[in-house]
Each structure stands twice: as structure tokens, then as C-alpha cells.
């Protein structure tokens, strides 16, 4: 895996961020302009622990405490791209109305989603992480993101339906509660498989039901909750 170790100043971080977009994303097929713009704009260094800031643009996941991680930039980008293609379209187009993230972690993925949706709800089960994400997102001015503490495997029924749902944790199967909270035409992206290896499932709600496809292999922390893995 590759990473750029940078000094702790805004100019170096900005340069590392642009290198990440070119070398880790564009070279691997991330092509949606709105996704590339988001990934090139959100300061990942603000969402990692202080001791990890110099490696913020590492080509891989990084620990953020509480046995959780901030996802690899490429994984953040490809999951976001699955949500918007082809609805947002070239040049960005209009934003989706409402997006839900399950497994808020540091708040980084929610910040990226703020570029594609008018409103982002992110659910994190660990109170300490939820509070830290809430503070970071507020400090950086992501006013259209709301952090909720709770069991994300159940979604957020009181705010449904959602045009996009992204699950940043691995489920043994696609949670039915999340499928039911999709708006017509909405998309759900979730890693599905064993605790050790998963593949991304992309589900689209249609007038006649749900269409599912699977592809990219990945490894995420487990989705703990009523419709995920039970217990630790």
C-alpha cells in the first residue's frame, strides 16, 4: 500500500489530497465528477487521530479508536460512486434529497456524502465516536450532516425514505430494514459476507421490487446490531 507522509500544514495536506485523487482514485476508475470533487475537497487529515495525521492519505483504512476504522479513500469513493451513477451524471447535476450512512465512525464518509445529498443522516452506535464526529463536522462547517447515536442496522425510519443509503460496516446479509427505507429509485450500498471478507452489494429499489448486484471485494469492521452481527 502507498501513502504520502506530509508535514502538518494545510498546503502539504492539500497537495497530498490531490495526489490521492489522481493516483488512488482516477487511476482505478473513479470517474464521477461530483465524487472526485468531494474526495478532493474533504480534509481527511481532520478525521483521523492526531498521531495519524501525517499518514492521512495512506492508501488503506486507518484506526480511529474504539476498534473502528476510517475507510480506505478508494473504498469511500467507489461506494459513493455506486450511489450516484448514473443519476447525478456528468458535471454533478442536482443533489439527491436525503442520504443515510450507517456506521458514522469519524464522520469522513458523511462529509463526502454531503456533496451528493441535500441532507445527510449518519448513525453511529459508539457514543464517543458519534460525539467526536459531530464536533468535527460542525467545526468544519458541514451543516447538512446530522449525527445520530443508535443501532444503524435498523436505519432511521423516522427520517425515511432515503435516496441513498451507505453502510460502512460488514453485514452477514442485506438488512431488510434498510431496503424498506429506500425511496423509489434509491440505492443501497453495503458490504455483505463473512466477518473476514465481503463484497459490495448494490441494491436499487424499483416499482416492482429490488434489483441487486455484487462486485468489489472488501474487508470492513462488522455491523453490530439487530440486523447485523449480534454482539462483539
Q: Which of 191, 178, 187, 165 is nearest to 101 (CA)?
A: 165
Rg from Cα positions in the chain:
16
CA angle 79, 188, 217 (to 5 degrees): 45
In this structure, are strands 162-167 and 68-70 parallel, antiparallel, or unpaired? unpaired
Query: Pick the catalytic residue: 5, 27, 41, 71?
Result: 71
**What is the distance between the alpha carbons of residues 167 and 139, in angstroms, rounded to a whole number?**
24
**Is residue 71 annotated as a catalytic residue, yes or no?**
yes
Residues 6+ apart with CB under 8 A from 169: 102, 103, 152, 191, 220, 221, 222, 223, 224, 228
DSSP state of 22: I
- 73-84 and 33-41 helices, crossing angle to 10°: 140
Query: HSE (CB half, 13 Å, CA atoms) of 98?
Result: 15
Residues 6+ apart with CB under 8 A from 181: 100, 155, 156, 157, 160, 161, 162, 165
Contact of 195 with 222, CB cutoff 8 Å:
yes
Residues annotated as catalytic (active site), given as ranges: 71
Amino acid at each position: 500500500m502507498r501513502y504520502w507522509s506530509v508535514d502538518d500544514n494545510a498546503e502539504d495536506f492539500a497537495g497530498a489530497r490531490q495526489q490521492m485523487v489522481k493516483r488512488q482514485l482516477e487511476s482505478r476508475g473513479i470517474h464521477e465528477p461530483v465524487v472526485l470533487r468531494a474526495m478532493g475537497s474533504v480534509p481527511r487529515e481532520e478525521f483521523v487521530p492526531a498521531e495519524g495525521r501525517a499518514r492521512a492519505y495512506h492508501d488503506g483504512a486507518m484506526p480511529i479508536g474504539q476498534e473502528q476504522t476510517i475507510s480506505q479513500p478508494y473504498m469511500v469513493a467507489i461506494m459513493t460512486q455506486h450511489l450516484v451513477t448514473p443519476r447525478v451524471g456528468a458535471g454533478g447535476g442536482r443533489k439527491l434529497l436525503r442520504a443515510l450512512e450507517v456506521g458514522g465512525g469519524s464522520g469522513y464518509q458523511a462529509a463526502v456524502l454531503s456533496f451528493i445529498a441535500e441532507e445527510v443522516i449518519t448513525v453511529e452506535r459508539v457514543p464517543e465516536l458519534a460525539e467526536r464526529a459531530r464536533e468535527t463536522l460542525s467545526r468544519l462547517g458541514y451543516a447538512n450532516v446530522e449525527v445520530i447515536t443508535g443501532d444503524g442496522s435498523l436505519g432511521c425510519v423516522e427520517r425515511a425514505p432515503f435516496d441513498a443509503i451507505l453502510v460502512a460496516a460488514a453485514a452477514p446479509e442485506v438488512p431488510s430494514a434498510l431496503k424498506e427505507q429506500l425511496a423509489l429509485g434509491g440505492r443501497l450500498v453495503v458490504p455483505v459476507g463473512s466477518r473476514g471478507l465481503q463484497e459490495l452489494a448494490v441494491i436499487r429499489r424499483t416499482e416492482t421490487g429490488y434489483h441487486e448486484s455484487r462486485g468489489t471485494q472488501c474487508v470492513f469492521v462488522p455491523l453490530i446490531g439487530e440486523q447485523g452481527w449480534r454482539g462483539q
